[in-house]
Structures are given as C-alpha cells and as structure tokens.
Structure 1
C-alpha cells in the first residue's frame, strides 16, 4: 500500500511539471493511473504551461514594448470508479506577468483558482447529466475551445462571448445534459448567472444597456442563463467525453462538422429610461459554424479550416470591452507542411475576425498570421504570431512568441 501511495504521489508531482496532446508520436495516452486490470477504474492527470514573450507597438511612452508572461499554467484531473460516475477537477492561473505578481503571492492578480469542478452521472451509454462549475457551453465550437491544441496562438476573444459577464472565466455553475444520437451530438445547460460580473456600471438615464441584470434586478427575474450547442459529424466522429473542442488534429483525423448554438439570459441586461425607470433586456446570442480537418496526402501534409458567424444581442447599444450588440464573423485556416511525423513539423496559419457594434459606426477588424513548430505534436510546440487590430481609428500590432509543454 505504501509503495502504491508513493508511486501515485511521484506521478502527480511529475505531471505538474510536464504536459500532452493530438499529433505526438510519443504521448501514448499520458498519465493514467489504473485501479483495476482492465483500466475501467482510473485517475487521469493532465498538466500544461504556456510561456510568452510579446512585443507591442502601441504602448505609453514610459512603457516597454517587450514583456513576458505565463499565459496559462493548469492541472486537470478526472476519474471514474465505475462507468456511471465521473468527477473532474481543473485549476490553474492565467496571464501571470510582472503587473499581476504579488511580493508574497497574494492579492487579486492572476493567481490559482478553480476553473472546473463537476460531477457527471451516465443515464445510458450515450447520454449523461452533470452539475457543478462546468464548461459545457453553448454558442459555438470556439466557446468550448480547448487551450491545449489551438491552431492559432489563442482563441478568438469574442467567441468566449460571456466571459466574466455571466460566468467565471467561461464557466458557469449549473446543470448540463450531453449526449449523441449517432453522429449528431448535443449539449444543453441551465446555469446560475454570476452576480458580480465585470460590467459593474450603473445604467444611465436614456443610455445603453448594462450587463448587470442579476446584480441590479435580482435573481428572481435575471438569475438563470440557458445555453446549448448542437453539431453533426459528417466524416469521422469526434469524442464528446469532455467538452474541450480540439483546435487542430494535424491530419490525425478526417473531420467535417457543422454546428449551431445559443446563449440566452432573460433580463440579463438593464436599461434606464429617460425618467430613470430600470427595465430588464433579454440577452440572446446565436452562432453557426463549420470545422474541417483532414490529411491532404500520405506525406504528412494536412489542412485545418474553421469559420463562424455569430449574432450578439446584449441589449440596446450595449458595448463593454471587446463585446457588444452586433454581429461577428471569424475564420482561420492552417496548413501542415509535408514531413516526417516523428520529426519537427511546421504549420503556418492565417486568421481574420470582423466585429460590428450597433453602438458605433466602425467595425473592429483583427488579422493574424503565424506558425506552429511542433517538436512533439501539441505536447511541445513553439508558436510565433503577428496580430494587427484596427478599431475606431486606432491600430495596434503585436508579435508574440509562445513556448508550450503539456502532458
């Protein structure tokens, strides 16, 4: 028994330092601790880190153009003792930089917090119900995106359409149902919206909507949000065991999916009339998307392509940070250069996003060009990206180099 405990503890410590993913010839399933001979009782541990150096050409005169940060550092664990029950725990930090560090590791900066913790009960082999702090989101594939196997340097920001507004870092506390009928997959959720979101503004008389329905109107009228995503796998079927969507398979599968999703939060926003009467406004977000990933030839080349259109209604003339009532189009495409699967592989890519806002006449346009150098699939890779953003007469360009390891 002591030897088993020592082995478990050693593997756990090692997993915190290293990491894993699609496309690696060396991964072979990662850290999985089996508690019976057939492996049906197990604990699986994943860990990853993303480390960045960024050059920004649009900073104040007294600020350096170059900065370093830990973009993500995470540990995820899930276990099954029987096929009927699953428990998942996910914790870590985001965007740790010199401005969010604390002398003794405290404060409100990017410190450790719980990302996910949910339990799941299987109803049948294909359908399940779960509850907790979860990531079974609606709207689109990118609102369910894994950060382990992205094609681009990072996710399209506006696709995480409720982050910090109705949830905690793209996770809600609630109950979800998920499953599949053949190649058709579904996930729906009923969630308790966050009370104190990022939008802490007070509605101005005759002004735009504010995302603060639960905080201002109360939980009876504005407490719950509803989400769902539905997809059909035309070619190879993807797994829906976990909610984290793969960004690129590097040609490891032949996938063509079409999907549609929604997010609805009744009275999620609040407007004040000219006389100061507060009225709730329903939030509704809808999207359609398509994802294609396939090998081109037997020489290691592959293509990944994704596109989505999203309609955002956060309330009349709502605009906060990068989010606002209006429409969004986003697409990216990547190509894996032919080469030996057991050696380093290169994948250049392009991305483009266009966001319109009802509150202003200008559109936000974001263009990205970059490349991934896979040293061992997604387990160890380098990404270099240039991103240019133009909005309301302002333009910003950033160059980021990221090193990633995951197990």
Structure 2
C-alpha cells in the first residue's frame, strides 16, 4: 500500500510562484499519494479578520444611526488542488466573504453567511507550457489585479474597480466557461470564453426610457444576444518569470524575486448593457473594458529591503452613462500603488505603502479620487501578518468617506 506522507518542498514552492517571504513555511501542506510525489494534493487555508472604523455610516432599516466601529471576517477560504499526473489538474476553492453581524443569521443559513464555491475547474496540459481548462474559474482578463491573489496583496485589499465585472457578468470574480493559458518563452497569456451571469447585481433593475444603460443584457435580451463574454490578459516578463500554474497573481514577493512585467488585457460582453429609447424599445450595447499595466517587485540593496510598485490604466465602457453605486461607472481610471519593505534585521518585517486612484465618471462629468496610506507587519511573511490602512474616498461632489481598517491574517 502506498504511503501518504507530508512534505515541504522548496522546489515546488518556487515553481508555483508561492514566494511568500517565509522559508519556514516552504510549500505548505502537500500530501503525496505515491512514493515519488507525482500524484499529490495540496491544501491552502486562510482567514482575514477586520476591525474597521468608518466615518460615513448610513442609517439602518429602522432609521437608527449605525455604529462606526465594526468587526468582520473579510475572507475565510480553503483551496485544494490535485494532480494525478502532470497532464491533469483539478482545482477546488470554497469559502465565505464579508461576514458581519448584519448578514449573519441565527442558524447560519442566510445567503450572505453561507460557504460557496469560488473555483472548481479541470485543466488538461497540451504541452509543457500550454493548457486548456473548463469550469468555474479565475483566469480573467483586463489586468493583473483582476486575477489578484487574496493571500499576498500588498495593500489591505484589492482596488475594487479592478475587479471590473465582479457580480455583473460573473460570480464574485469567477466565470463559468473555458480557458486557455500558457507561455511563449517570456510572454504569458490567458484567454477565456464564458457564460454571462443571468441574475447579477442588477437583477431587479429595468432601463428608464431615454435614460442610462443597465447591465442586464442576458436577462432582458436573452442568451442568444448577450449570453457570452470574452476576456484575455497578456504580459511580458522582462526579469524573473512568474509562475502561471494557478491563476492567482502575487501582490508582493517581499524581495524573494526580481520581477518586471508589462501587461495588457480586455473584457468584452456583446450586448451586455441595455438602453431603452423614448418609446421604451430596448437596444443592446456592448460592454468593453481594457487595461494596460506594469508591475515591478525587486530587492533593494543587500540588507533585505524591497520595492513593490504597480500602475494601471483602465478604460471602462459599460454603456451610455452607466453607474452602479460608487463602484462601477463608464469612464476611465488610473490606479497606482508603491510599497517599501524596510531593511531591518529582525524576523518581523515592516512594509509601509501608498495607493492612489483617479476615476473619470462619464455620467457625472466629474471624478472620484481615493487615497490609501498603510503598513504591513509581517510576523512570518504573508502567513502571519497585520495590516493597518487609512483610506479616503472623495466621490464627485459628495463628502469624503474616511475609513481606518486593521486586519489580522493567518495563511497556512
């Protein structure tokens, strides 16, 4: 009978791009199911707890002022991937997001507090550098941040608008469809064809005659007219080549790699948006989003310092004058962040950072700006860290909303 053993393989850690800044962890929990390790499964689990103070708390359903200080579980996840041979891969990822006292229920069965599947896909290797797959997947287009890993972000959380179609055409950043991914030497690619979400964030919204677009093409025009989405992302690795074994893009390597990439990507949903003319006749409009970005992450000097920098230009066309809250708008966006890992001779590492967003909102002929100032305290790389961030959002002519968040994260 074949032995089942636990291994911590640094080689596997490097191959998968799981450079998390901690040699103590290695490749984590990997269970071999044959003697040579060619058949195995790996388990990854993590939790992020938030304590947050928000300067702008709306009234509750009874008209009462809400508490400014809140607690939440931002993410609790488990990811399992399995290879029975180098030619086949199965990825399963489940968990919950943003669990608070407001969406918990007495018995834990309310929609927002339930565990749900994030990823579940199968993949077949065509060759050493190319593969095809299908299922519920995260091989997204547009930009690096649209496939961001939530294990190793540099900022407290991802810049929200970079998950450009989350909840509009997909389920929490994941789509049901087929994908191809691979590399031509230093040029990596990912492309996908997916089914558009029917019951999206605007499931109850109808277009106003002569008004702005609504993201409801599949629901109102049918799957033949608006059933499919198309996406892709292409990046060139000038220095160290990053892993594309899994779809999740690393936020900061903490000086363990030297990376400089330039990328470009797109998302297209034909007839994804709907307009109603003065007479109420419906007409589809294509949703088109594209991005250009650059990522740099490298050690600085010989004392353990490291620089992480990222910049993105994103053009969002969700249809005429489209707006959904303060999250999605037809317009353009420039986003950047920069962080510096301090070269201190301690096991505990410190990384202050800044982020900035400027969005042009077509419907308002105005802008939204967002500034973030924060710091990470790495107790054991990304596997045990604390993050503190101050964020200020100024949306058009509304008063600025200021938020302070403390995060405690453990990742195994």
Give the TM-score of the pair, scaled to structure 1.
0.94
Q: Does 1:308 align with 2:312?
A: yes
| Unmatched 5+ stretches in structure 1 | 9-19
Show the counterpart of 1:59.
Answer: 57
Q: Does 1:83 align with 2:86?
A: yes
Q: Does 1:46 align with 2:50?
A: no
Which of 162, 165, 174 is the equivalent residue of 2:168? Answer: 165
Large movers: runs of 4+ above 3 Å: 1-4
Show the counterpart of 2:216.
Answer: 212
The separation in 1 between residues aligned to 2:23 and 2:52, in whole angstroms, is: 30
Q: Cα deviations across residues 112-141 of structure 1 (Å, max 9, x unaligned)?
A: 000000000000110000000000000000
Show the counterpart of 1:27.
Answer: 25
The separation in 2 between residues aligned to 1:134 and 1:128, in whole angstroms, is: 14
For residue 216 of structure 1, give the secondary structure of its aligned residue in structure 2: helix
Q: Assess if the C-alpha contact under 8 Å between 1:21 and 1:377 holds in 2.
A: no
Which of 127, 130, 133 is the equivalent residue of 1:127? Answer: 130
Alignment RMSD (CA, Å): 1.4
For residue 110 of structure 2, give the secondary structure of its aligned residue in structure 1: coil
| 1:216-227 pair list within 5 angstroms | 216-227=220-231
Which of 396, 401, 404 is the equivalent residue of 2:406? Answer: 401
Q: Assess if the C-alpha contact under 8 Å between 1:265 and 1:283 holds in 2.
A: yes
The separation in 1 between residues aligned to 2:44 and 2:184, in whole angstroms, is: 29
Q: Does 1:232 align with 2:236?
A: yes
Q: Assess if the C-alpha contact under 8 Å between 1:230 and 1:259 holds in 2.
A: yes
Q: Does 1:299 align with 2:297?
A: no
Q: Cα deviations across residues 123-171 of structure 1 (Å, max 9, x unaligned)?
A: 0110000000000000000001000000000000000000000000000
For residue 214 of structure 1, give the secondary structure of its aligned residue in structure 2: helix
Q: Cα deviations across residues 53-105 of structure 1 (Å, max 9, x unaligned)?
A: 00111124621110000000000000101010000000000000100111010
Q: Does 1:194 align with 2:200?
A: no
Shift of 1:339: 1.8
Shift of 1:228: 0.1
| Unmatched 5+ stretches in structure 2 | 7-17, 59-63
The separation in 2 between residues aligned to 1:399 and 1:306, in whole angstroms, is: 23
Shift of 1:298: 1.3
The separation in 1 between residues aligned to 2:65 and 2:331, in whole angstroms, is: 36
The separation in 2 between residues aligned to 1:21 and 1:89, in whole angstroms, is: 21
Show the counterpart of 2:390.
Answer: 386
Show the counterpart of 1:333.
Answer: 338
Q: Cα deviations across residues 190-249 of structure 1 (Å, max 9, x unaligned)?
A: 000011100131011000000000000000010000000000000000000011000000
The separation in 1 between residues aligned to 2:86 and 2:3, in whole angstroms, is: 27
Q: Assess if the C-alpha contact under 8 Å between 2:2 and 2:35 holds in 1.
A: no
Shift of 1:393: 2.2
Show the counterpart of 2:109.
Answer: 106
Q: Cα deviations across residues 269-312 of structure 1 (Å, max 9, x unaligned)?
A: 00001111100000100000000000001101000000000000
The separation in 2 between residues aligned to 1:70 and 1:272, in whole angstroms, is: 40
Q: Assess if the C-alpha contact under 8 Å between 2:19 and 2:256 holds in 1.
A: no
**What is the aligned length?**
393
Shift of 1:25: 2.4
